[in-house]
Structure 1
Amino acid sequence: MVATLLRLRFRVLANTLKRSTWQLVAVIIGAIYGLGVLAFVVFGLVALAFAPVELASTIIVLAGSALVLGWIAVPLVAVGVDQTLEPAKLAQYPIPRRTLLIGLALAGVLGVPGIITSIAALATTATWFRSPLAAVAAVVCAVIAVLTCVVGSRMVTALSVSLASKRRFREISGILVFIPLILLGPISFGIARGVAKSTDALPGLARILGWTPLGAAWSVPADVAVGDFGVAAVKFLIALATLAALALIWSRSLATALETPPVSSGKRVARGKIGFFGLLPATPAGAVAARSLSYWVRDPRYARQLIVVPLIPVLLYFYSNNMGSFVLFNATGPIVAFLLSLATYADLSYDGTAFSTHVADGVRGVDDRLGRAVALAIVSVPFVVVLTVGSVAITNSWPLLPALAGMALGAVFSGIGLTAVTSARIIIPVPASGDNPFKSAPGAGFTTALSSFATWGILLLLTIPEAALGVSSIVFGSALLGWLALLVGICLGLALAVIGIRVGGAIVDRSAPEILSRLKALRGA
């Protein structure tokens, strides 16, 4: 049965890669990159063999503890990402719990993260090759450490089954994991600076972690290398006890998850509470706008794009401060305008088969385009205005405000007109409603990137007039050019918005059945 589970795991992986040539290419490129990083890690571990024991122990224990912590923490924020052998799907089969535990553990070890972790952990043997006993201990402890990572990860996944069944938890956790990725630059810089300032404290931290479940297995070889066998034995027992405790908790939580699967509860809404539909005009365009605004508030696939808004000023301020010039920070408004205005460039793809209601009810294309444009304007324009004025106020660069506002508003309105056309043309695979908003649909990577870059390029061309006036105003210090940039940005942007709504509406009227058939095909893929 264990062998069957493993074959199933690799068969599902192989079938997934066969779905799209570009997905297979992306996996190959990612594997090459991962192997490069792994080679660097292995080389570093070999080099540590010639370093002092304390230095080698400090680096291995700190890195190993971070690795274990990462394995345990990832399931808390990566809810919604596909699992090849999801226990809930195996619950209907009469598989003994012990067999299921062994199969899931081996599947975790033989997955890509598990294989990379195993190779890196076993490579620590090279660090202690000058001490045969320490090298043997490193092999044994590497196996324990890898199992601790996998079992700990599976334990957390099983414990969080009840939370993972709640859609709101999946949505929030999937979005929150994106925040540290965006701030990776400042975070890495801060960690590097902190490490540089507290180098003397790192050995002490490593010694403390060596007595904890996170670092016990990684510190045993160092103690064996210096002849401290009593301490090594105690730490080895801590590592074994940790693995046993995690396995026991995982077994019991898995039994609970399989025997009492979570059920989703419905949400009651008070009578008469119709949200945005009660605030906007009772017209076809007003109804479309109300529904689109509901998506922005309730659908994480839309909300994920708003996360970037408060983070962009942080990033630009950080880089501007390091450069000694706040030119980048002052451009916050235009940059956010550019990104937000294109947020719905493939809007109908997120509608899915719900677009059939528009076709069945005979909603005019211009009303569909106008409603979505109004919703996007309600969401994006306040952000753009606040960030443009705020960045200028922080840097006390008020003379630049007209030029920056012209570029920002021009980008917003022009982008709204552009997306009114592109969202009627571009139908791409997107995460389904309720899925992790960052889940990549099969075959979506290359198509999405290509269509995104093309749309960005077109918007750059459309905003050349106000951008040229605005940049010239800033470079030459001309107030007149700044006010001209504001005038051109608003007028030209609004004109392009109107044109885009009309052109996009005509496309929808002409191609609505074809659009619906393409959406159905994507859903069935």
Structure 2
Amino acid sequence: MIAVLLRLKLRLLGNGMTRSTWQLVGTIFALLYGLGVVGMIAVGLAVAGGQEIAVDSRATVSVLLGAGATLIWVLVPLFLTGGDSVMDPRQLIPYGIGRRQLVLALVLCGLVSISTVLTLLWQAGHLLYWRADPAAMLAALVMAPVTLGMLSLLSQAATTAASAWFSGRRARDLFAVLGVGLAVMIWPITTAVQNSFDTLAEALPAITAVLAATPLGAAAAVPADVAGGDWAAVGLRLVIVVATMAVALLVIRAGLLRITERPRPPAASRSAGRRGLGVLGLVPDRPWAAVAARALIYWMRDPRYGGSLIVLPGLVAVAVMLHLQTQADWTLYGLGLLVAFMLGFGISADVSYDHSAFSLHVTAGVRGVDDRLGRAVALLTFAVPATLVAAILPAALVGDATAVVLTTAVSLGLLLASTGISSLVSARFTYPVPRPGDSPFKQPPGAAGRTMMVQLGSMLVMAATMLPELVLWIVWTLAALDWLVPVLVAVTLLKGIGLLVLGIRLGARVYDRHQPELFQQVSD
């Protein structure tokens, strides 16, 4: 059965690449990029292996790289791809596979990935890094497959736990809040660690010692302990590794038990007790207003939309802390631009997020102009106030009235322009996104290449359209040329309004021409 599931994983991956050109392009791009980065690290390790370097210095490099590899194995599948959607345990429930076989199969299937190729490349460099000491090199060779198995177990444990116990809406919102808190605390934590030591070189040994005593760096620290003759430390590292693997196995087993044998019963519907139309009852009796109301409901209740909003307070807090540390005014001047850009980009996939609900627009005969206008109005309802706050308050703290006016105008112009561009992009280009009810971090198969190309292209177009204003705004911040202020305010706002209108009109035209194709694409 395990061999069958492994062949199934390979067959599904192959079919996904041959079915979608974008999937193939994205996979090749990710592989080449990873090989370039990890290849340089491996070459650097191999070269350093022939040099005379103290054991402590070698241990620092080994442990830091090992901890980084562990974090990548755990966090990338969890937050970027939402786990292995190809081998979802829920899809295997009807086949009655034994729990032990399923656990082993999932762990082995997790090794069929680009991450395994890159990890093996890093381990080859790590092996050569310790070639000056035969005993340490032998320890690195023995620990290589053990480390790879531990990484696969940790990755599977993280994704299984997220699917079994944290797949509900409240859990996702909690993770989002925790993510914002982590983003906010990264800067002060880093600053506090840095201030605790005179130089970074003094901080690294202490950081290495802590990481080596955790599952993040214990396996990578074994060769250094062997080279130093500290056999008690070697034993401790092995205990940590074995205990980590055992706990990961228990988590996977318990998660599969919850998923396959004790699934959570569906929540009772509470819609019957609610009365009234909510937001729909507050808008005018117009098609575009109904679309705007539905989009606002999505923004308030759908975590796939709300995820982009939750990130903004964390970015604002980080920018404020950065300003307090560096006293650089640009960190505050740029807040309005950052918020405007991210909010305007937020509706670039709104049609894709509709999924089967887009049939409401098709069957009701919603015109393109009503669809595009309604979605833009829904975004601007809260995006304009948010952009004003992000532009006015920080600029007022470090600048005068002129700085506030100019920064606000450029931010609003960027918001309007990016909203118009997104209105056209979302009607013309669709790509696979998490389905309604899925984790906002879950990436469907075949999404990598097309998602990357569409999003990157949209961002580049948005940046290109605002490039003249941004350049002049930067010139003003550096040279304080007052004659630029009225010119920039007028040009930025007028161009933003023009791009908004143009984007809605062109998006409406594309929408009307390709409505059936759009519905077929988002419903697949």
Gaps of 5+ in 1: none
Deviations 1:317-337 (A, max 9, x none): 788899986356424434543
In structure 2, the residue matched to 1:392 is 395
Q: How does 1:32-181 map to 2 (within 5 A)?
A: 32-46=32-46, 47-48=48-49, 50-68=52-70, 70-72=72-74, 77=79, 80-121=82-123, 123-170=125-172, 173=175
Q: Which structure: larger Rg?
A: 1
Deviations 1:123-147 (A, max 9, x none): 4333443443333333223332222
In structure 1, the residue matched to 2:436 is 433
Residue 385 of structure 2, aligned match among 382, 388, 393:
382
1:292 aligns with 2:295: yes
Rounded Cα–Cα distance in structure 2 between residues aligned with 1:69 and 1:424? 37
Q: Is the 8 A contact 1:61 1:215 kept in 2?
A: yes
Residue 453 of structure 1, aligned match among 433, 452, 457:
457
In structure 2, the residue matched to 1:350 is 353
Report the Cα offset of residue 340 of structure 1. Answer: 2.8
Report the Cα offset of residue 252 of structure 1. Answer: 4.6
In structure 1, the residue matched to 2:517 is 517
Rounded Cα–Cα distance in structure 2 between residues aligned with 1:462 and 1:387? 18
Residues 379 and 99 (structure 1 numbering): CA distance in 2 closer, same or farther, change over 3 Å? same
In structure 2, the residue matched to 1:222 is 224
Rounded Cα–Cα distance in structure 2 between residues aligned with 1:65 and 1:467? 40
Q: Match of 2:3, as an amino acid?
A: A
Deviations 1:324-366 (A, max 9, x none): 8635642443454344334324533333342332343344444
In structure 2, the residue matched to 1:28 is 28
Report the Cα offset of residue 390 of structure 1. Answer: 1.8
Q: Match of 1:453, as an amino acid?
A: G
Report the Cα offset of residue 383 of structure 1. Answer: 1.6
Rounded Cα–Cα distance in structure 1 between residues aligned with 2:180 and 2:15? 28
Matched-pair identity in %: 34
Deviations 1:5-45 (A, max 9, x none): 22122112211221233432332232122222323333343
Report the Cα offset of residue 57 of structure 1. Answer: 2.5
- DSSP 3-state at the match of 1:272: coil
Q: How many residues align?
A: 520
Q: Is the 8 A contact 1:406 1:470 kept in 2?
A: no
Q: Match of 1:405, as an amino acid?
A: T
TM-score by length of 2: 0.81
In structure 2, the residue matched to 1:6 is 6
- DSSP 3-state at the match of 2:94: coil
In structure 1, the residue matched to 2:376 is 373
Rounded Cα–Cα distance in structure 2 between residues aligned with 1:468 and 1:33? 31
Q: Match of 2:164, as an amino acid?
A: S
Report the Cα offset of residue 95 of structure 1. Answer: 2.6
Residues 340 and 154 (structure 1 numbering): CA distance in 2 closer, same or farther, change over 3 Å? closer
Rounded Cα–Cα distance in structure 2 between residues aligned with 1:183 and 1:20? 40
Higher relative contact order (CA 8 A, sep 6+): 2
1:301 aligns with 2:280: no
1:197 aligns with 2:196: no
Gaps of 5+ in 2: none
Residues 320 and 99 (structure 1 numbering): CA distance in 2 closer, same or farther, change over 3 Å? same
Rounded Cα–Cα distance in structure 2 between residues aligned with 1:216 and 1:328? 38
Rounded Cα–Cα distance in structure 1 between residues aligned with 2:459 and 2:214? 52
Q: Is the 8 A contact 1:469 1:482 kept in 2?
A: no
Residues 292 and 196 (structure 1 numbering): CA distance in 2 closer, same or farther, change over 3 Å? farther
Report the Cα offset of residue 492 of structure 1. Answer: 5.9
Q: Match of 1:434, as an amino acid?
A: G
Q: Is the 8 A contact 2:123 2:144 kept in 1?
A: yes
Report the Cα offset of residue 495 of structure 1. Answer: 6.0
Report the Cα offset of residue 56 of structure 1. Answer: 1.9
In structure 1, the residue matched to 2:407 is 404
Deviations 1:246-273 (A, max 9, x none): 4345335434443213343245244225
